[in-house]
Amino acid sequence: MVNEFVYCPRLFYLEWVEARFADNDDTRLGQQIHRNVDRASGAVPLPEDGPVKATRSVTVSSPRLGVISKLDLLESDGAGAVVPIDYKKGKPQSDGSPWPSDEVQVCLQALALRDNGYPCTHAELYYAATRQRVRIDLTAERIARVEAIVADARSVAEHSTAPLPLVDSPKCVRCPLVGLCLPDETNAILSRRDQPPRPLVPSAPDQRPVYVTEPGSFVGVRSGRLDVTRDNEKLASFRLIDVAQLAVFGRVQVSTQALQACFARQIPVLWLSTGGWLHGYALGQPPKYAELRRRQTAMHAQGGTGLAQSIIGGKILNARTLLRRNTRGDVEATLASLKRLAGQARSAETFPTLLGIEGTAARLYFAAFPAMIAPAADEIAHTFSQLGRNRRPPTDPLNALLSFCYAMLTKDLVAITLGVGLDPYLGIYHRSRHGRPALALDLAEEFRPLIADSVVVGLLNNGEINDSDFLRRAGAVSLTADGRRTVLRAYERRLDTEIRHPVFGYRISYRRVMDVQARLLAGALVGEIPEYKPMITR
């Protein structure tokens, strides 16, 4: 962690205080380089019990400095002293000197050995790319600087917010946490840089959700893979490294071993009803960033002033955009009303006023919704026009589609908020109550038209869903198993659709946009950025 602090104080804070980690090609290569030295071998006698021979993977600590380290390799210098050797995947600087972060790390290992009574005059860094060792002498000046850095790192860790990101630093491009840190995005919002953000955020994360909808199926784990079986017949298999979340619907069993494997990789497991209603979730250890949850709790108690107005204003504008792009009739009056209501939402002074504005906008929007449906699905649109928006249970096919897509959107935002370190049940706009993921519903507002409603319109207009995909029982309408699978495929396609972010200017998928927005909300809650800007398309 001290190595990370020297490299970037913000990276140190995210990993040490917030316990947020991520891998990239560099970290995986580093793990490969360490595969031999990470296997413990050899004995380390006490200083008074004899010389030390070459020993791998030795843990040593210094209570005086408050640091602990695992030494890659410990050798004798042949003159009665020991030499810690730290392995690095790269190469030294162009002049042959070590990188500052590497130098501090190996110096701390040497000081920890000294504090345990082992004589140590120097340390060494082994750079695998050039296969060379670089010697680091423990001079008084170097020791003083290293101890000061440890004190600075401890001071930064005690702050309630992370240090601001580096500005235009080449370090950010190779950082594994760039997608969590959002350096250029944060600096752009704070006007700390004039250039548009670099496209540092990956546009298409490798991981994808796994949906298990087959009744009676069983999810187990074997050789680093999630296997889905039923009656001893394998239905599907997925590499754990490719899984973003595991969502199981209805009567599906998940083994203890599979749960443990998911927890070890911070993969959320979500249990849903057959119709998509979220029953619960599990994510191993809870997020460790307590300050973020404290600020979220305080904002929840205050009623979310400012944030709720931005969220609802964004939702209304996105609904207006969807209508403008897809309606087949004259809805100019509705569009004008929605534009006016969005402005009123952003300036609403009281929570009841905001609720009234949002309700009026919803009535106008859903009244015009059937105008976006193609004539081939006119009967479905006509039934919706007669009944309006309804749920629990839906009483017509269009409402059944909307409810299912909203449930999937909420499910995804529960997983995302958990990953960010937020509590999905402490809302800002939606009031918290038993079983309601209020914060996930808050974030879902701006994405309902962009993702869920767009999926529904596309399914009906493209003829992917028809009347045979619905079940009607006692006045309630639900999707069949085949219908749910069709909707899930269309929903995942929509999440993979790339758009140009209206604030930052680069192209990323809707899947990644939701993650970015959750992190911007967290930044606004802890005071890192002045305000939350919802995702609004043009």
Annotated binding-site residues for Mn(2+) read: 358, 430, 445
Return the bridge partners of 124, or none: 85, 135
Are 37 and 84 spatial neighbours (Cβ–Cβ below 8 Å)?
A: no
Gyration radius of the chain over CA positions: 28
The amino acid at 22: A
Sign of CA dihedral 510, 535, 440, 268: positive
From CA 135, how far away is CA 123, in angstroms rounded?
Answer: 6
Residue 132 CA to residue 148 CA, distance in Å, equals 29
Residue 130 CA to residue 508 CA, distance in Å, equals 37
* Alpha helices by DSSP H, 130-228: 140-157, 171-174, 178-181, 183-189
Q: How far apart are CA 442 and CA 222, in angstroms?
A: 38
Structure tokens at 481: 């198993």
Cα separation, 84 vs 125, in Å, equals 8
Residue 125's alpha-carbon distances to 107, 128, 131, in angstroms, are 10, 10, 10
Instruction: Please provide the size of the chain in residues.
Output: 538
User: What b/e sequence results for 3-25 when a residue is b if at least 16 CB atoms lie within 10 Å of its CB, and e otherwise?
Assistant: bbbbbbbbbbbbbbbbebeeeee
Query: In angstroms, rounded to a whole number, what is the distance separating the alpha carbons of residues 379 and 381?
Result: 5
Instruction: Pick out the residues of the known binding site.
Output: 358, 430, 445
Phi, psi (deg, nearest 5) at residue 70: -105, 115
